[in-house]
Copies of this chain bind each other. A is one copy, B any other.
Amino acid sequence: MKFGGTSVADMERIARVGRLVAAEVAAGKRVAVVVSAMAGKTNELVAWTDAAGAAAPGLAPSDEEYDAVVASGEQVTAGLLAMTLRHMGLNARSWMGWQIPIITDDAHGRARIDDVPGEKLGAAMDTGEIAVIAGFQGVSRSGRIATLGRGGSDTSAVAIAAAVGGQCDIYTDVDGVYTTDPRIESKARKLARVSYEEMLEMASLGAKVLQTRSVELAMAQRVPLRVLSSFVEPGEAPGQGTIVCDEEDIMEKRIVSGVAYSRDEAKISLFGLPDRAGVSATIFSKLADANINVDMIVQSHARSEGAANMEFTVGRRDAARTVEIMNGAKSEIGFADLAVNEDVAKVSVIGVGMRSHAGVAKTMFTALAERGVNIQVISTSEIKISVLIDAEYTELAVRALHSAYGLDKL
């Protein structure tokens, strides 16, 4: 069971989490609970580290110390929930990342889990003890506290489930995964099941239910994953939520399972590029060196003068840096003009059924064209189609696609 920051925001909510855990124990389950920091606490801690760093903004930040500070938030919640459970008459204890241990690499602030030896934890759970685990953190091989980056508690939970052999239930402020954002389309339906692949695309395309890395890990380790609500009244059951599982375990196949959108994009356009080999290699290796992820790319060749244009998208927070890097290499790349557009949105349809069904793209383009939505860039994978459009049309496009694929009639 994993509970995020809003589910443990105060002692009353921690008591509610306690009741949900007790119900699972009463149902005969062997339970480990992974918790985030109380909502707001991580921000408070990060603000202090920013203040500590403000003295000398030129120097490299000390990520080990950032991690030591920020990881304390989850330590507090784990201790408080273990206390709460014990006061409910249950057998429970807290575990910090270093106590299990959750072994990570040295990439402090965004560490990856290398290994979770489950023996000690499993043995404690075998005695009937509920394990309450501080999420988001581990310990590097050199013995320093390391954090997994924002949202890392989902990944902690999946890693623990894999280590002790169990199912991973992610309790959150929504009661499952929806066909699209219900705040935009009131006809959005909760999915009973969704495949790992689809969930992965949804997560990376802007649906903020689960952290992408946690889904990747669950898929790789074949951990059954479930998303359900922690916001239930005493005595009420949390419902079935949405099960994230192998494609083969989904009986009713859908062509499209969901419509996702993201407004965190920026489009960069380079005009008048020389039409010769190696130009795009220069552009994208410069961005890769700066650790900037490029998402959609389209290259167009001007018919006459032997010059080309290149358009690509980056995360909006990287836009300014991208422009700086491009302008700094203007003569090397050889472009004539550059434009940035932050007023764009990416809208995507996702579904494993695309693999075996033709006409999915046609339905998408037709539906958007009928509403007068102009498509600026297109990118596709085996199970999704994304389009970049003017941000103003986001809601219109989401609703049009939700209806075009019959998702409101599930």
Asked whether B84 lies within 8 Å of A68 as measured between CB atoms, the reply is no
Asked whether A56 lies within 8 Å of B11 as measured between CB atoms, the reply is no
Known: A59-B89, A93-B64. A52 touches B80 (CB 8 A): yes
Known: A15-B55, A69-B75, A72-B75. A48 touches B87 (CB 8 A): no
Bound together, the chains give a CA A259 to CA B94 distance in angstroms of 46
Bitwise, A70-86 to B at CB < 8 A (1) or not (0) is 01110110111011101
Asked whether B76 lies within 8 Å of A72 as measured between CB atoms, the reply is yes
Asked whether B99 lies within 8 Å of A52 as measured between CB atoms, the reply is no
Asked whether A66 lies within 8 Å of B52 as measured between CB atoms, the reply is no
Q: Which chain B residue has the least Cβ–Cβ distance from A59?
A: B87
Asked whether A75 lies within 8 Å of B68 as measured between CB atoms, the reply is yes
Question: Which B residues touch A73, using CB under 8 A?
Answer: 72
Asked whether B80 lies within 8 Å of A49 as measured between CB atoms, the reply is yes
Asked whether B53 lies within 8 Å of A65 as measured between CB atoms, the reply is no
Known: A11-B52, A88-B55, A143-B99. A68 touches B45 (CB 8 A): no
Question: Which B residues touch A66, using CB under 8 A?
Answer: 79, 83
Question: Which B residues touch A86, using CB under 8 A?
Answer: 59, 62, 65
Which of B15, B51, B83 contacts A11, CB < 8 Å?
B51
Q: Assess whether A14 is interfacial by the CB under 8 Å rule.
A: yes
Bound together, the chains give a CA A14 to CA B94 distance in angstroms of 30
Asked whether A53 lies within 8 Å of B87 as measured between CB atoms, the reply is yes
Bound together, the chains give a CA A80 to CA B70 distance in angstroms of 10
Bound together, the chains give a CA A381 to CA B14 distance in angstroms of 51
Contact residues of A between 124 and 179, Cβ < 8 Å to B: 143-145
Question: Which B residues touch A56, using CB under 8 A?
Answer: 87-89
Q: Which chain B residue has the least Cβ–Cβ distance from A98?
A: B98
Output the least CB separation between A161 and chain B (Å).
22
Question: Which B residues touch A14, using CB under 8 A?
Answer: 52
Question: Which B residues touch A75, using CB under 8 A?
Answer: 68-69, 71-72, 75
Question: Which B residues touch A143, using CB under 8 A?
Answer: 99
Bitwise, A89-107 to B at CB < 8 A (1) or not (0) is 1000110101100000000
Question: Which B residues touch A69, using CB under 8 A?
Answer: 75-76, 79-80, 83
Asked whether B65 lies within 8 Å of A83 as measured between CB atoms, the reply is yes
Question: Which B residues touch A88, using CB under 8 A?
Answer: 55-56
Asked whether A94 lies within 8 Å of B76 as measured between CB atoms, the reply is no
Asked whether B83 lies within 8 Å of A49 as measured between CB atoms, the reply is yes
Known: A65-B94, A72-B72. A87 touches B52 (CB 8 A): yes
Q: Which chain B residue has the least Cβ–Cβ distance from A145?
A: B96
Bound together, the chains give a CA A122 to CA B127 distance in angstroms of 40
Q: Can you name 23 A-B residue pairings with CB atoms under 8 Å?
A: A11-B51, A48-B76, A49-B79, A53-B83, A55-B87, A55-B88, A56-B89, A59-B89, A62-B83, A62-B86, A62-B87, A64-B94, A65-B86, A65-B93, A65-B94, A67-B79, A68-B78, A68-B82, A68-B96, A69-B75, A69-B79, A72-B75, A72-B76
Seed contacts A53-B87, A61-B83; 15 additional CB < 8 Å A-B pairs: A15-B55, A45-B76, A49-B80, A55-B87, A62-B86, A64-B94, A65-B79, A65-B86, A66-B83, A67-B79, A68-B75, A68-B78, A68-B82, A69-B75, A98-B98
B-contacting residues of A (Cβ < 8 Å)? Answer: 11, 14-15, 45, 48-49, 51-53, 55-56, 59, 61-62, 64-69, 71-73, 75-76, 78-80, 82-84, 86-89, 93-94, 96, 98-99, 143-145
